Structure 1
Amino acid sequence: MRTCSLIAIFYLMSANTLTAAELDWIQVSPDGKSFVTAEDQKPFVPWGFNYDHNREGQLLEDYWNTDWKTIEQDFAEMKQLGANVVRIHIQFGKFMTAPDQPRESALKKLGELLKLAERTGLYLDLTGLGCYHKQDVPGWYNQLSDVERWQAQAIFWSAVAKECAHSPAIFCYDLMNEPVVQAGKKRGTDWLGPGFGGKHFVQRITLGPDERPRPEIAAAWIKTLVEAIRKQDQRHLITVGLVPWSLERRGLQSGFVPDKVSQHLDFICVHLYPEKGKVKEALETLKGFDVGKPLVIEETFPLKSSPQEFEEFLLKSKQYADGWIGFYWGQTPEELKQGKTIGDALTASWLKFFEKNGPQFKGEQ
């Protein structure tokens, strides 16, 4: 039996008494600068985990049909650690059988995940259109034109929003993880960016050359998907996960300039990993995403810095950020302490910080 699984099971059994009605819906505060619960208007600070893969590197859809008990335990453990939000990543190819045909079995399984979140008392940051595993991307999807691809993506989001519209357990829809507009006057050759750890996290929303400015194209894409969602769901928040090189600076740029693409988004998300000796620079980057709407650091981890510098960054980021989402990969701090890798030690240190400082970041003390 997994270490601490008995405690996790206890939390899960306790959470089973929670009903969807007891989870208040989340909305942007009246002043537009933070989040509040809809009924009580209490401050809500997203504090949670990316649950993007398990300890073996499998994506959620790879094991949710065969190992549901592990997912239940992981949700209970994340709740026990103090999380209130879990970021879920779902792949386009697992949810669509054709450009205009959603996969009903996948939508049904998503519905079961919503019920688990409701029972556990966790909100979901639902990130869609993933193409993380290249082998899971349908051949027909790669052959679509830019316009056809946007249409298929809109159908994906319409189906997902219809499935989720009734549930208060959705914190937000994240349109895509790290989208990029094709740059230059030449047609691109690959929808996906370079791989990292066997997965492709960056995805282009266009391949063809376009005379419009890149931020204008990005804003039009966002508008297309938001309109598809709003036909099914008028209530849940919508955002998109931006790379730090989305700012208009010298060098690499994504085309998703925050202040030029935010008009159709409820809040801004950035993925930011501070580097060794560059905490000040990371904070300056974060400041660039503070454009008058709530700002969530949707991905962060001591990947490129020491644990001490990472903690310094998180604490100082409170002057700009309104939420923080790190990572949890199915291993408790106790299990990680038994590990023998640097990665195990880093993750254990992060989870210790997360559990200890959660009340401070969430404004509970």
Structure 2
Amino acid sequence: MKKPQKQPLQIQLLIAKALRGKIDPEEKELLDRWYEEKGKSTHIPESQVVQLNTKKALKQTRKKLSPPTKSIPSWVRVAAAISAIAGFVYLLSHSITPPVSKGDMISYQTIENQRGMRKHLLLPDGSKVTMNGESSLKIHRLFSKERTMYLEGEAYFEVAKDSMRPFKVFTEMAITEVLGTSFSIKTQRKSQEKIAVNEGIVKVVAKSTDRAKESKTLTAAQAVELHNSHGFGLVQHIEPTSTFGWVRGELHFENSPIMEVMETLGDWYGLDDIDYSGINPACKVTGTYTKVVLKDILESIKYATEINYELNGKKLKVSQGKCKG
């Protein structure tokens, strides 16, 4: 099993101060900068880290440390304590045996993402998560013995390999389990889910008591949908560039119905209201857009399809124009 990289002493000191809630703004900025440079990803915010049960963690740390003796210099004991505390922040650990009752949810750290936003997380085991808008992720406060979490919405996972500890994502309808790979899960209204794999192997097991024995194994460039009404659909081949483009800030449309495109734009840019009642549903859109403002995308679609639109703040109205499909 790959051991977590040892943190620099200065960073260990800052993490220890953060655990005690005594880190000042300048020190917090330094710690945040170190996380960003190390993982090029936003770590779980310090405001959430300090919500962990630090008293219990310190008590467990003291038990693990050898009793101090006169022959051991005090600075050695301090360094050992700091290292153990830093290890606690880096590897949150505890076994989870789902399903979890509502009373047990206090053991979870909830991270939510607003509509129209993408959020990047660096997990304690080195795995990375990109959350799409209107998504929620519940991560057990202790994470090293069994890597388990609960998802509502859509997220993309880049899982650090660890053959001793499977990585499990629980949703309303399924359990998705991997050892080390990259994949995405999208839940829709608790009645439909889609699991897509970018690399590696993923196993998906239906949670419903009626379908508890149903499962699918997916490999790279494959996806499957799971429905409440009729279980798993057929395994489909996907184009990773378009399927996972949103993770890189890209929108891909390939002969997509314009109503579907407008709904995607509404979610992506956090629009409050979209009116496309006057548009031809047969109209299709093809294009790739990378980190551009909404108006530029609409102008591009207008040029290609000759639709008309009005954008007023968070409200969008689209009319047919000359688009005939």
If the TM-score is normalised by the length of the shorter chain, which range does it land in? under 0.3
Using the size of structure 1 for normalisation, the TM-score is: 0.24
Bigger Cα Rg: 2
Q: Which has the higher contact order (CA 8 A, sep 6+)?
A: 1
Q: Where is the strand percentage greater, Structure 1 or Structure 2?
A: 2
Q: Which has the higher helix share?
A: 1
